[in-house]
Amino acid sequence: MSALSLAASVRSGERSARGIVEEHLAAIADGEGEIHAFNLVTTDAALERADRVDAVVAQGGDPGPLAGVPVALKDNMCTRGVPTTCGSLILDGWRPPYDATVVERLDAAGAVIIGKTNMDEFAMGSSTENSAFGPTLNPRDTTRVPGGSSGGSAAAVAAGFTPLSLGSDTGGSIRQPAALCGVVGVKPTYGAVSRYGLVAFASSLDQIGPFARNVADAALLLEAVAGHDPLDSTSIPVSAPDLLGVLDRGVEGLRVGIIEEISGSGPTGLEGFAPDVQSRLAEAAEALAAAGAVVEKASVPSTVFGLSAYYVIAPAEASSNLARFDGVRFGLRVDAENTVDMNAATRTAGFGDEVKRRIMLGTYALSAGYYDAYYGKSQKVRTLIVEDFARAYQSFDLLLSPTAPTTAFPIGEKVDDPMLMYLNDVCTIPSNLAGHPAMSVPFGVGDDGLPVGVQVLAPANGEPSMFRAAAVLEAAAGGSAGSRHDS
Ligand code: GLN
């Protein structure tokens, strides 16, 4: 059942929130041992919360648009008194003293938080194999990765453990796992969803966004968590967009451009795109054209440099953000003779290999003498990407690309080759660098029978038309992405 219909049934008194939550807890008890989508299932708190939602209905009140709907949170969102690990040993034992703004908004909307999902350590990765707590498996094929870094949130939705979850996306961490698990994943406009209480990876790129089994449910969740928040200085002064209200407007007359450089075509395009992924993209473009959109090739030339710029900017910001994990204020402490040795021992024991790699890369890129050559240059590339997008959006309302170059890859295949792993994000990174919204919509399967995602990109605050195109793609692909999981 969709989140929309679950909420409607609770609001009307037809179903109890407790019943819905118990059903999902049973699904988790059944499949979680194999999938490992969660770092923590908050069973008791979820049941108590469900009872409070039911009490509101019993008293004639309306709990809100997400009444009784289970939502899972990526484990980098602060939950008061509830462990928040970021998939890292360094936060061992830490319980945040406050709730993230998204948690408060979910509460106000009547949702029931059901647990914290597994992730690549500090959101660094594309496969969820960098979690200190072991990998998450892809529910569509448990020999494959679910993508990352929000792999647990994607897998939880794909496996039917929860209808909705939240992830964070710094370079693709919502969209790529959504594509690999066959669900909908949205990275909103930078500043559209508050980052207050999201443990920072790269602050100028991080955004929270929804996972769902269909486009309407993703719209429902984004509407509930978006909107200005004075507690986040980068929050944009805009209220949550109306998405559900525009979903059925179609794409008649919208101009859609297929970005050649990141879809494996054109003379200057990147290579490495699987032919089956390219075929699904071509079919998606045809579906939009059949629905009345004007679809053409588009060029956003500097997107090919996005990956290189990102892997300087993101580690640079991370090296600064992660300096706070020093054994003094949060979680783990490994004692030593003096403070400096204690800091080093704690960080040596607490951080995994990929996090250490990023901290070293970032520290190097920011060091005196190299700053201009690396960080400064990357910021210039970022500006070029922003300008190229601005130019493209003079001719187009929306842009299109694959979400990821391939379907889900085997567990273990890329762990020892960081460069190969980083290449997963070539299509998703440009939107983070530009601060633009983009979403992944399931569109058929590859030759291996695994899901393919198509990415719809829009200019800042272009979520309404982005969702309209997503709804058309979903209908063309055969309805709700998760229909085979719906009961
Ligand atoms: N996979 C990318 C990285 O490792 C993006 C991660 C993210 O979006 N959090 O940095």
Quick: pLDDT tens for 274-288: 999 999 999 999 999
How far, in Å, are 105, 169, 191, 229, 334 from residue 235 at the CA level?
15, 16, 4, 6, 37
Same domain, 202 and 333: no
d(CA 151, CA 176): 9
Show Cβ contacts of residue 363 under 8 Å, excluding neighbours closer than 6 positions.
319
Same domain, 265 and 357: no
Judge whether 99 lies within some domain.
yes
Confidence (pLDDT) at 295: 98
Helix, strand, or coil here: 302?
helix
* Among 75, 203, 420, 425, residue to substitute to test ligand 1 (most atoms within 8 Å of Cβ): 425
Token output for 189: 């406009």
Confidence bin at 184 (pLDDT 50/70/90): very high
End-to-end CA distance of the chain, in Å?
A: 6
Same domain, 334 and 472: no
* Among 124, 153, 313, residue to substitute to test ligand 1 (most atoms within 8 Å of Cβ): 124
pLDDT at 156 over 60: yes
> Could you tell me the distance, in angstroms and rounded to a whole number, from the CA of residue 349 to the centre of ligand 1?
22
The residue out of 344, 366, 388 marking a domain boundary is: 366
Tens-place pLDDT, residues 30-69: 999 999 999 999 999 999 999 999 999 999 999 999 999 9
Instruction: Answer whether 437's CB lies under 8 Å from 186's CB.
Output: yes
pLDDT at 470 over 90: yes
User: 118: closest CA among 140, 82, 147, 93?
Assistant: 147
Confidence (pLDDT) at 272: 87
d(CA 31, CA 181): 15
Confidence (pLDDT) at 483: 38
The residue out of 366, 389, 404 marking a domain boundary is: 366
pLDDT at 486 over 60: no
Judge whether 487 lies within some domain.
no
Judge whether 96 lies within some domain.
yes
- Write out residues with Cβ below 6 Å of ligand 1: 123-126, 149, 169-173, 201, 314, 425
> Could you tell me the distance, in angstroms and rounded to a whole number, from the CA of residue 125 to the centre of ligand 1?
5
Judge whether 485 lies within some domain.
no
Confidence (pLDDT) at 481: 45
The minimum-distance atom of ligand 1 relative to the CA of 173 is 8
Instruction: Answer whether 376's CB lies under 8 Å from 366's CB.
Output: no
Read off the pLDDT of each residue in 405-417 and give the average, rounded to a whole number.
Answer: 95
pLDDT at 482 over 50: no
Judge whether 449 lies within some domain.
no
The helix or strand, by DSSP H or E, that contains position 284, with its residue range, turns out to be helix 275-290
> Could you tell me the distance, in angstroms and rounded to a whole number, from the CA of residue 275 to the centre of ligand 1?
24
472 or 416, which is more confident: 472
Neighbours of 169 (CB within 10 A): 29
**C-alpha triplet 164, 203, 362: angle, nearest 5°:** 120
* Among 131, 149, 166, 203, residue to substitute to test ligand 1 (most atoms within 8 Å of Cβ): 149
Confidence (pLDDT) at 479: 62
Domain limits at 431? 255-306+377-439+454-476
Mean pLDDT of the chain: 96
Confidence bin at 425 (pLDDT 50/70/90): very high
- Which pairing describes strands 38-41 and 112-117: parallel, antiparallel, or unpaired? antiparallel
Same domain, 233 and 215: yes
Q: How many structural domains is the chain composed of?
A: 3
The minimum-distance atom of ligand 1 relative to the CA of 354 is 4
d(CA 200, CA 86): 10
Instruction: Answer whether 210's CB lies under 8 Å from 222's CB.
Output: yes
Which has the minimum average pLDDT: 75-84, 165-174, 404-413, 477-486? 477-486
Residue nearest to atom 10 of ligand 1 (CA): 124
Cis peptide, bond prior to residue 149, ω within 30 of zero: yes
Same domain, 200 and 324: no
Burial of 335 (0-12, 13-18, 19+ CB in 10 A): exposed
> Could you tell me the distance, in angstroms and rounded to a whole number, from the CA of residue 413 to the centre of ligand 1?
18
* Among 74, 131, 153, 170, residue to substitute to test ligand 1 (most atoms within 8 Å of Cβ): 170
In terms of phi and psi (left: phi > 0; alpha: psi -120 to 50; beta: otherwise), the region of 88 is beta
Residue nearest to atom 5 of ligand 1 (CA): 171
Which has the minimum average pLDDT: 5-14, 460-469, 474-483? 474-483
Helix, strand, or coil here: 453?
strand
Tens-place pLDDT, residues 307-335: 999 999 999 999 999 999 999 999 999 99
The minimum-distance atom of ligand 1 relative to the CA of 432 is 8
Does the CA dihedral 451-195-134-163 come out positive or negative?
negative
pLDDT at 480 over 90: no
DSSP label of 20: H
CATH number of the domain residue 459 falls in: 3.90.1300.10
Judge whether 448 lies within some domain.
no
Same domain, 116 and 70: yes
Token output for 228: 């200005």
The helix or strand, by DSSP H or E, that contains position 445, with its residue range, turns out to be strand 438-445
Confidence (pLDDT) at 265: 81
Active site residues: 74, 149, 173
Cα 72 to chain centroid, rounded: 12
Same domain, 295 and 176: no
Confidence (pLDDT) at 474: 98
Cα 76 to chain centroid, rounded: 12
Token output for 339: 């403070």
d(CA 64, CA 56): 10
Token output for 366: 């920011």
The minimum-distance atom of ligand 1 relative to the CA of 205 is 8
pLDDT at 269 over 90: no
> Could you tell me the distance, in angstroms and rounded to a whole number, from the CA of residue 118 to the centre of ligand 1?
14
Read off the pLDDT of each residue in 357-372 and give the average, rounded to a whole number.
Answer: 94
Supply the pTM of this predicted model.
0.97
Show Cβ contacts of residue 185 under 8 Å, excluding neighbours closer than 6 positions.
150, 154, 167, 169, 174, 175, 177, 178, 179, 209, 210, 211, 218, 439, 440, 453
Read off the pLDDT of each residue in 271-300 and give the average, rounded to a whole number.
Answer: 96
Same domain, 279 and 149: no
DSSP label of 117: E
DSSP label of 80: T
Judge whether 426 lies within some domain.
yes
pLDDT at 196 over 70: yes
Same domain, 350 and 422: no
Neighbours of 299 (CB within 10 A): 18
The total number of residues written for the chain in this structure: 487
Same domain, 137 and 266: no
Same domain, 109 and 224: yes
Confidence (pLDDT) at 122: 98
Token output for 370: 């190299």
Within 13 Å, how many C-alpha atoms sit on residue 154's CB side? 40
Tens-place pLDDT, residues 210-225: 999 999 999 999 999 9
The residue out of 194, 212, 246 marking a domain boundary is: 246
Judge whether 447 lies within some domain.
no
> Could you tell me the distance, in angstroms and rounded to a whole number, from the CA of residue 341 to the centre of ligand 1?
30
Same domain, 203 and 130: yes
User: 457: closest CA among 175, 39, 207, 113?
Assistant: 175
Instruction: Answer whether 361's CB lies under 8 Å from 367's CB.
Output: no
Confidence (pLDDT) at 487: 33
Neighbours of 391 (CB within 10 A): 14
Confidence bin at 305 (pLDDT 50/70/90): very high
Confidence (pLDDT) at 484: 37
Confidence (pLDDT) at 478: 87
Token output for 32: 């979680």
> Could you tell me the distance, in angstroms and rounded to a whole number, from the CA of residue 126 to the centre of ligand 1?
6
Instruction: Answer whether 354's CB lies under 8 Å from 418's CB.
Output: yes
